[in-house]
Amino acid sequence: MSILVTGGAGYIGSHIVSLLGAAGEDIIIFDNLTTGKKENILYGKLIVGDLNDQAAIDKLFLENQIDAVLHFAGSIVVPESVENPSLYYQNNTENSLNLIKACIKHKTKKFIFSSTAAVYGMPESGVASEETPTNPINPYGRSKLMTEWMLEDVSAAHDFNYVALRYFNVAGASKTGKIGQSTPRATHLLKTAAEVVTKKREKMAIFGTDYKTKDGTCIRDYIHVDDLAQAHLDALAYLGKGGRSQVLNCGYGHGFTVKEVIGAVEACTGEKLNVEMGPRRAGDAVELISKAEKIKDILGWKPLYDDLAYIVKSAIEWEKKLK
């Protein structure tokens, strides 16, 4: 049996591929390489292709005995989704439907979906549990929520179970030092800061300083990519034991402001960053923090790297390795 990883050459997908490979799994990576890189793939077989090509997907399933799918392929930049929503409904929703249809057709019964905390929008308290009403405020969040709905309906109609993991803010690089965030033109806060540290960018911006938070900047729940990757292996093991479909938050349950993250970068390097203040970005929530007890109870997930200083250090050390 093989495990299909879509988007496995990207930031998060490559970390899951690394863990799966170290565990001895047979892996097939399906990626169009628009943002992913071949160099990120440490295990498995790469097939270059696009999920908008139903014939290519069917061929992939016909030629390989696929036992489970881990789906990471998609677009993830919130401001871009506001400017170009049709791209997000194509890449995140329609392409996901193509993949789900192939699973049903070829009787692949286990599916793990890379979802997002953006499905919650702007919860009044700033904290979201899985029971918090979903109310996405941008096309990125809506496109992911639509896929969750499709999975729910398909699971109800077929012998098909899934785990949708709602990521909070993923950051850092693998403890192995072999992979990290290398996506070109990335907009993640810590990635941007690491590029300033390594002189790849002259400066960085804080988008919005007038939010009702302790220092006026947005608050997010930052989770180390290795902990996130382990959650996927735990989800795969859960489904392998006959677990039923679940939607689970994946975060640490506490947050930091943008200025606090920048302060942690400056503390790590001993240098001041060149930071300019900018206006708010479209589609940004003020505060978004997880309640994540459910994933621990159901999957037995045990995060190991809940330490902002470590997350920052790993991101900077990785950025120094990139040319």
Reported as type and span, the H/E element at residue 205 is strand 204-207
Task: Provide DSSP, 215-275.
Answer: SSS-EE-EEEHHHHHHHHHHHHHHHHTTPPPEEEEES-S--EEHHHHHHHHHHHHTS---E
**Selection from 200, 118, 201, 170 nearest residue 11 by Cα:** 170
| CA angle in degrees (0–180, nearest 5) for 137-143-147 | 130
Backbone conformation region of residue 230, classed left if phi is above 0, alpha if psi is from -120 to 50, else beta: alpha
The residue from 11, 88, 140, 211 that is catalytic is 140
For residues 147, 150, 152 and 158, what is the CA-based torsion angle, rounded to 10 degrees?
-140
Interhelix angle 54-63/95-105, rounded to 10 degrees, is 30
- Which residue in 261, 246, 238 sits closest to 292, CA to CA? 246
Known catalytic membership, residue 43: no
Residues serving a catalytic function are 140
